[in-house]
Amino acid sequence: MHEVAEGVYRLGRSHHNFYLITRGGKATVIDAGGSSELVLLERALHHLDLVLDDVEAVLVTHAHTDHIGFAALASRQGISVRVHEEEAEYARDRSKGTQVTTWDLPLWRPPVWLFLVEMIRAGAHKGFAVPGVETVADGETLDLPGRPLVVHTPGHTAGHAAFVLPREGILFCGDAIATRSLIRGGVGPRMLEDLFHTDPALARDSLGRLSALDTELLLPGHGDPWGGPIADIVEPLRAG
């Protein structure tokens, strides 16, 4: 666990992240890591003198297994799990989702194997449906710790969403932007390779929605936090 901003903590492993926001003894979780990583959340909460009952919601950027992993377990414990309304059917029925498989990856590249090992350790090779998932809408400010704003950013998946803390200038971008390549191993702001997106052109176009935001800290699903105005990151990526 690493505090990346006041009351905002980065959890996960070397190749992927999820986040914990704490305000006034309550918490919001952004993404749900792999299926075996609920224990990482529990440990972080314990360190902060909190428990799972203090988590008001898990907000999932999209329904890939390295982002929705322990959401089913959280839901069974009474925690609200929410996704964008266009992602709900994939969260509720894993057979409807689309996701890169091991055999789609360029397995001759060493960084790919490091990524796969981390995904297995996290339980991200297992996907569990969340029948009771709730939905959020684009532009909605959620009455949760941090008051996150929903920004629909389709392309990686149809219902991919980013979450923004406007007062703090923090953007949780899911897989819309990464700061680490899962295939080549490079670091710095980038889009994930096209093979990871259901619609690469739409994913690139959706970056324009992020560029308009007034944020200074990017917290991605893959890679380290990145400081600076989001427009400075987005425009070069959109230009290709």
Could you count the other beta carbons within 10 Å of the beta carbon of residue 17?
27
For the chain, the maximum distance between any two Cα atoms, rounded to a whole number of angstroms, is 48
- pLDDT tens for the chain, residues 1 to 240: 899 999 999 999 878 999 999 999 999 999 999 999 999 999 999 999 999 999 999 999 999 999 999 999 999 999 999 999 999 999 998 776 677 777 788 888 888 888 888 888 888 777 788 999 999 999 999 999 999 999 999 999 999 999 999 999 999 999 999 999 888 888 899 999 999 999 999 999 999 999 999 999 999 999 999 999 999 999 888 776
Give the integer Cα–Cα distance in Å for 97 and 80. 21
Give the integer Cα–Cα distance in Å for 181 and 15. 9
Give the integer Cα–Cα distance in Å for 220 and 4. 12
Structural domains in the chain, sorted by start: 2-238 (3.60.15.10)
Give the residues across from 5 on adjacent strands. 8
Rounded to 10 deg, the angle between the 230-238 and 200-211 helix axes is 150
